[in-house]
Structure formats: C-alpha cells, structure tokens
Amino acid sequence: MCGIVGYLGNKNASEVILNGLSKLEYRGYDSAGIAVNTGSCLDIRKKSGRLAILADDVTKIKMDGTLGIGHTRWATHGEPTDVNAHPHFSENKEIAIVHNGIIENYLELKEELTHKYGVKFLTQTDSEVVAHLVDKFYKEEKDLLEAVKNTVKKLRGAFALLIIAKDRPDEIVAVRQDSPLVAGVAEGEVVFASDVSAILEYTRDIFYLDNGEIFYSKAGKNQIFDFDGNKIDKESVYVDLSLEAASKGGYDYFMEKEIYEQPRVIAETIERRLDENGDIKLDNIYISKEDLDNINKIYIIACGTAYHAGLLGKYAIEKLVKVPVIADIASEFRYSDPMIDKNTLVILVSQSGETADTLSVLREAEQKGARVLSITNVVGSSIARESHDVFYTWAGPEISVASTKAYTTQIVSLYMIALDFAIKKGTITKEYYRDMIDKLRGVSKKVEKVLDKKDEYREIAKKFIKSQSAFYIGRGVDSGLAMEGALKLKEISYVHAEAFSAGELKHGPIALLEEGTPVIAIATQSKLFEKMVSNIQEVKARGAYVVAIAQEGNDLVSKTANDVIFVPQEDDLIVPILAVVPMQLIAFYVSVLRGLDVDKPRNLAKSVTVE
C-alpha cells in the first residue's frame, strides 16, 4: 500500500527520498510528500496525485538538507488531498512523521489531545495523532528517542513510523509494528524504506525490523531497542538482488516484462528445489511422513490472485495427497471461527509476505496449535519470519500491481509441495512422482511457445476493448483458472468480468448474456472436454463471441468457438500454467489499447498491508 523512505547521511536527502519513493510507486498511492531538515526548519511539501507533481515542486524550489522523510499515501482515513498527505507534523512544525498502517485507537487519542492539551488537528487522518503525541512527549523529555518510546506505548494497531525533529538535524527514529520497514546502512548513512527495492541503490546491508522494534540513528551511529527500551543486538543481512531486475528491461510496461519472465522464474522455482537425483527437496520445510499422517485437514488461505493459485493447489493436494483441503479468502476466514487444531496444516500464500489479513490468519492459526506453511516471494517478510515452514517462490521483484509471474510460481510451489507430501505418504507411485517432476521441469519451455503467439492475443483483445462485460467459464481446475483470468481483465482494463463454473450457467448467469458478449471458455481438462464443448454451444447460441482455450489436438472446439487458442499438450493438472498466459496477455493488450495505466490501475495497491 503506502510507501515510506527516510534518509540520514551526507547526500541531498530530498534526492535520495524522491528516488526511493519512485521505486515504490508500484505499491499504489494517491498523494505524496516529503519533509527535510534544512538546519533551520522542517521544510514540508505535500501534493495529491502522482509523485511527479511533488518532484516538480521540489525541483523548482530546492530543498537543502541531509535528513528527511518521504511518503506515498493510499487513502484510508480522509480523502486524498494535499492536507491529508504525509508527512504530518506538530502544530509548531517541530516534529514530522510518516506512517504506514492504521492507528486503531486514533479517535481516543485525538480526543485526549484535543481536550486535555488543546491540540488543533489539520487533517482527517489517523496518522496525525502520532506527530502530536511525539511532540507532547518531546517537550517533556527533551529527547527524541524517549519521546518516541513513550508514544508507541500508547498506540494500538499497525504502524511503520519514521520521525524527525527540527532541532535534531542528525537524528532519525524508525518504528515497526505489523507494517514492513527495513533499514539499510552504509558508512555514515542510513536509508529506511517499506521495501528493500528503494534502498539497494545505496546499500545492500539491510536490517529487517521485527515487530516491537525501534531503530535509532544519530550521526552515523545506529542502535535498536524494543518498546520497553531494552537494547537489541541484531546483524544486518547482505541482500544480493540485481537492480536491473526491478527495471523494465526494454519492455514498455512492467507487467509485459513480468509476463515474459515467467519461463525463467518458473524454471528457477523448480530447479532450486531439486537434489542431484532430481527429487524434490523443500528447503525450510520440515514436514515428515509422521507429521503428515497426523494432519487430517489442510486450509489454503490467501487473497486475490494468491487465492486463485490456492484453488489450484487445493485441487492438486486433494488429488495427490488424499487429504481434505479448504481454500478460503483470508479476510473472510479469520472471522468465520474456523475449526483449527494441532492436526491442522494451514498453507498461506502471499506474494509480498505482508498481506494484513493473511498475516492475521497466521497468528490466529498458530495460537490454536496449527502448523503454518507459507508460500511467499519476499525473503525476510513478516509472514516468512513468523511461519513454521517457508517455501520461497523465486519470481524476483514484481512491480506491476497486477500479479502474473508471482501467480504462476505460486502454482508451481503448491504442486511441488503436493508431490512431496504425496510421495512421503505413499499416495502416489514413484513412477508418477518422477513423471510429474519431469513434466514440471519441461513446462517453462512450453510457456515460451505460448508467449510466441502474442500477435494472436492482441487481435483477440481488439474484440474486448468496447465491451462493458465479459464471461470466463471452465470446469474442474479450469473453473479456478477462470477466476484469475476474469480478475486480470477487470483490474487493469476496467471491463466488468465474471468467472463462472460452466455447469452453473443454466442456473442463472446465462441470463446476463447479450449479443456479442465476449466469453473466454477454458477447455483444457480431457475428462471434461466434451461437456465444455456443450457449454460453448450454449453461450454461442445466445449470441456470445467465444474464445476457447484448449490443448493442441482438440480440434472439435474449433467447430463451435469463434476463436481458439491452442496451448501445448500437457497433463491436466499442469496445463493451467500454460492456459493462464494467454489470458494475462489478452488483459494486458485490452488495457494498452484502451490507453490505461497498465502497471498502476486505479484504486489498487500491490501490497495490501491494512485490513
């Protein structure tokens, strides 16, 4: 969601901060701001809209100083206006803060500050209370670190904070509680950010702050404390991540680049988990046959695209491991009083590893005694650190808000976990196990073949650009895949799209069909192919324009659909990895042809770190 960057060192702070914030634009935001300690005052600039508007203002009127904080805000409390943008400051502008997360008790604190201390609030935000609280304690303590320690004890909720003071030009304080924050250190410098991608240009020595930690930097010296003021000894981590990986690499859009990276990242996710014999070796997952024998139920919990990957994982685990699996949305699951105990395995899927609802499920599941296995793309993320077992997808930085390569690597991860569990339990043969591993290893080459047909997908996309709605239908595992196809279209092209199990059409949804309504019919499952052909005939008879996705050789579908996209033949379980790629590119081209902001669709954020 929101992005944070802070800097203390010997460079121009505004340049470092604006550069860092530009690396975080993918997170989604509607305003931006910066505060720099000039030595005589806190120079604060805030603008609604894109970061470029703020950068233009800073360029026109230069900001001098080597200490500063910046923020890109995605509105939760208060409209996206200049006033509500961060940084927030105390009445006398002695203190400035930036904040990610939500202060749950802000109304209570605001009332106390207003009636007891006569504070006048300027904004509608929850974050402003933090600036006034720090200011109140700073006036009493005359010590910025102590003022922050006293402030955090009064806060409830999720917060990553950076705090600076007018008369402390060589001090900055950072706080982390349930909202990501990292600190990068170099000789005489410290750079803070909500994502490591904003720091790597300056240093690769990174401190990943944990919940309840305060990072204090003064004149090049750094210390870490807990909320009670106790010192914490912590080592930095060297992050070996290419800056080039976060660039567009010659493509016009990050989403386009990330779609075309899928063959490589799928191969990496698989090959890194195979030993010298070609068997699956799950690093950081220590679930034995005895553990599996005691598990009587598995939940797969996620949000958005990750949830759609979970639907395919459910299908694979039930088919191979023969254990009941329930896939659910994190925001609903955590309030449904789920039946979790020590015989439950909870698998969490989150690209960022910081998804707020999924993180809450993790903590509740562990309290109830369940084992938690997480699948995430971000090393050192909250979900990764707090889970019992971790499977890292090797997708690399995913900048576009609409997830593509993270989704396909999540599917691969779930399939590898299913195969590992199944061979341990003895529910599949060694021959089947080997055959499926070989097929997974070959899938990246087949994805390349699917990507070669981009001109075909662009022509199909032209049929969608004037449509108000579209249908996606499938059966079996294709039903879950249809949900991801529909999500991709609506989130980046703003075409209303819905996914339906094809067998359910006659039970209501078919009434929505009109002449020319685009329908993408996914017909990759051999046992259900004939039934899908019948469903295609049903929608075609109601005037729909049908694009079918089928395996090569299933030519019968050409007699009913208007257009057919053929993908290479593959096992029914694995073919969805191939079939999703055309849907990603069709959605991409519809967005491009409509002239929309492909990488940063309206109202959306990459990492949803609030409920």
Of the CATH numbers 3.40.50.10490, 3.90.1150.10, 3.40.50.300, 3.30.1490.190, which one belongs to the domain with range 254-451? 3.40.50.10490
Whole-number pLDDT of residue 372: 96
Q: What is the pLDDT of residues 89-133, one digit of tens each?
A: 999 999 999 999 889 899 999 999 999 999 999 999 999 999 999
Q: Is it true that the peptide bond before 582 is cis, omega within 30 degrees of 0?
A: no
Strands 221-226 and 213-218: antiparallel
**The pTM of the whole model exceeds 0.85:** no
Whole-number pLDDT of residue 514: 81
Whole-number pLDDT of residue 104: 83
Return the structure tokens found at 328. 């659910």
Share of the chain above pLDDT 70, in %: 97
Dist. CA 147–CA 224, nearest whole Å: 15
Is 342 one of the annotated active-site residues of the chain? Answer: no
Whole-number pLDDT of residue 494: 95
Q: What is the pLDDT of residues 51-73, one digit of tens each?
A: 999 999 998 888 999 999 999 98
Residues, the chain, total? 611
Dist. CA 18–CA 32, nearest whole Å: 10
- DSSP code for 524: -
Catalytic residue among 2, 166, 446, 600: 2
- Please tell us whether the domain made up of 3-242 is placed in CATH 3.60.20.10: yes
Dist. CA 14–CA 87, nearest whole Å: 13
Whole-number pLDDT of residue 248: 67
Domain ranges for the chain:
3-242, 254-451, 454-593
Whole-number pLDDT of residue 157: 85
Q: Please say whether the beta carbons of 523 and 540 come within 8 A.
A: no
Is 303 one of the annotated active-site residues of the chain? Answer: no
Whole-number pLDDT of residue 275: 86
Classify domain 454-593 by CATH number: 3.40.50.10490
∠ CA 395-396-402, nearest 5°, is 70
Dist. CA 15–CA 366, nearest whole Å: 43
Q: Please say whether the beta carbons of 266 and 446 come within 8 A.
A: no
Q: What is the pLDDT of residues 512-570, one digit of tens each?
A: 788 889 999 999 999 999 999 998 988 888 888 999 999 999 989 999 999 999 999 99
- Packing angle between helix 575-593 and helix 454-461, nearest 10 degrees? 50
Q: Please name the helix (run of DSSP H) or strand (run of DSSP E) that holds residue 301, with its range, or none.
A: strand 297-302
Strands 389-392 and 518-523: unpaired
Q: Please say whether the beta carbons of 214 and 162 come within 8 A.
A: no
Dist. CA 496–CA 518, nearest whole Å: 11
Instruction: List, in sequence order, the alpha helices (H) in 9-81.
Output: 13-22, 51-60
Radius of gyration of the chain (CA): 26
Judge if 254-451 and 454-593 fold alike in CATH terms: yes
- Helix H, strand E, coil C: the string for 360-395 is HHHHHHHHCCCEEEEEECCCCCHHHHHCCEEEECCC
Q: Amino acid identity, residue 388?
A: H
Q: Which burial class, exposed, middle or buried, applies to 275 when counting CB atoms under 10 A from its CB (0-12, 13-18, 19+)?
A: exposed
Whole-number pLDDT of residue 371: 96
Whole-number pLDDT of residue 280: 94
Per-run averaged pLDDT (10 residues), the chain, 611 residues: 90 95 77 95 94 92 93 80 94 95 90 94 94 96 94 92 97 92 95 90 93 94 94 90 62 92 91 88 89 96 96 97 96 86 96 90 93 89 90 86 95 97 97 97 96 96 92 94 97 94 83 86 93 90 91 92 96 96 98 94 70 54
